[in-house]
Amino acid sequence: MKIATWNVNSLRVRLPHVLQFLQDEQCDVIGLQETKVDDDKFPEDEIRKLGYSCLFSGHKAYNGVAILTRDESVAVSDASFGIPGYPDPQKRLAAATITAQSGASFRFVCGYFPNGQAPGAAKYLYKLEWFCALRSAIEARLRTDPNLILVGDMNVAPTDEDIWDPEGWKGHILVSDAERDAFNSLIALGLTDAFRKAPVTEGDWSWWDYRNNALLRDQGARIDHTLVSDPLVGKIESVKIRRAYRELPQPSDHAPVVLELSL
C-alpha cells in the first residue's frame, strides 16, 4: 500500500505535476492540500482518466483538500469533510475509509493544518484551537477505527531535527513550543510519525521557501507528515520525500511524501 501527501499550492497550476506523479508513483491513496479550487472547478476528468477517483472539499483562493484513490487497488467508503463538531468555513479536512484488495482497511484522514502566521496572532490561536478540535475527533475515531492514517501539511516541524536552522527559527511559527505541544498531543493518542520509525527513508525536508534560493541552499523544514496508529506501526516499510517534484519548473513549495506499508 502506497500512500502520499502533497501540498500542491493550487491544483490547477500544479495539475501537470500531479498527473505526472500519479503516473510515475502509482500510489493507492493520495491526500492533497491547498487545492485552492471551487468544487465545481475541480479537475476531476483529467485525474479520472488515469484511473483515480476524487473526493474533494475546496473553495477558491485558499485552503482546500482532496483524496485521490486508485480504482483498481482500493475501495472507498464513508467520506466526510471537516472536523466533526467543529464548524469551520475553511476547507481543511477530508477523510474516508479505505479498503485494500487484501481486505485490510483503515481510516484515512487528510488535513491542511492552519499556518498560524506568527505566535500570538489571531491565526495562531485558531491554529491551536484547530489542533485541539482535531485531537478530540481523532481520539473518538480511533475507538471505532483503530487502523488510522493521518497525513497532511501539519505546519509543524516536530523537533529541531526537522528544520534547517533551529537556532534562527527559535520562537517562530512551525517550531514554537505550543505548536510542538499540540502536535505531540496528537501523537499521544497513539500515533507515530512514520518518517522517524521507517526502516528506509529518503530526504530531509518537505518544504522549502520560494524565497531566498532556499531550495538551492537546502534551507527547508519537514512539516508534511504521515502519522500511523499503533496497529500499523509494524507495517511501515518506507517514507520517501520526493524532492524531485520540488525541482520541476513552476513547482509547489512542498514536495510529495510517500509512505509504503505492508498492507
Positions touching DNA (CB under 7 A) are 7, 9-10, 12-13, 34, 36, 60-62, 114-115, 117-118, 123, 153, 155, 173-174, 207, 209-212, 221, 223, 250, 253-254
Give CA–CA dist 150/227, Å, rounded.
Answer: 5
- CA separation, residue 100 to residues 3, 93, 118, 141, 174 (Å): 12, 22, 41, 20, 34
Residue environment code for 183-214, b if the CB has 16+ CB neighbours within 10 A, otherwise e: beebeebbbbbbbeebeeeebbbbbbeeeeeb
Q: Which is nearer to DNA, 70 or 172 (CB)?
A: 172
**At 149, which amino acid appears?**
I
Q: Which is nearer to DNA, 26 or 213 (CB)?
A: 213
Dihedrals phi, psi of 103, to nearest 5 degrees: 100, -15
Q: Choosing from 17, 28, 52, 112, which is the catalytic residue?
A: 112
213 is in an annotated binding site: no
Minimum CB separation of residue 153 from DNA in Å reads 5
Residue 232 CB, nearest approach to DNA (Å): 26
Cα–Cα distance between 64 and 85 in angstroms, integer?
A: 19
Q: Is 167 annotated in some ligand binding site?
A: no
> Of 28, 145, 153, 162, which residue is the catalytic one?
153
Q: Give the C-alpha separation, 232 to 213, whole Å.
A: 38
253 is an annotated ligand-binding site residue = yes
Q: Which backbone phi and psi does 189 adopt, to 5 degrees?
A: -70, -15
CB-nearer residue toward DNA: 13 or 189: 13
Cβ proximity to DNA, 172 vs 235, nearer residue: 172
Active site residue 62: no
Active site residue 112: yes
Q: Bridge-partner residues for 36, per DSSP?
A: none
Rounded to a whole number of angstroms, the minimum distance from the CB of residue 162 to DNA is 11
What is the grid cell recorded at 245? Answer: 517534484
Tell me: is residue 254 an annotated ligand-binding position: yes
Known binding residue 224? Answer is: no
Taking the complex as a whole, the smallest distance from the CB of residue 130 to DNA amounts, in Å, to 11
Please confirm, yes or no, whether 225 is among the known catalytic residues: no
- Distance between alpha carbon 198 and the CA centroid of its chain, in Å? 17
State the minimum distance, in angstroms, from the CB of residue 61 to DNA: 4
155 is in an annotated binding site: yes
Cα 229 to the center of its chain, rounded Å: 15
Binding-site members are 7, 34, 153, 155, 253-254
Looking at the annotation, which residues are catalytic?
A: 112, 153, 254
Binding-site members for Mg(2+) are 7, 34, 153, 155, 253-254
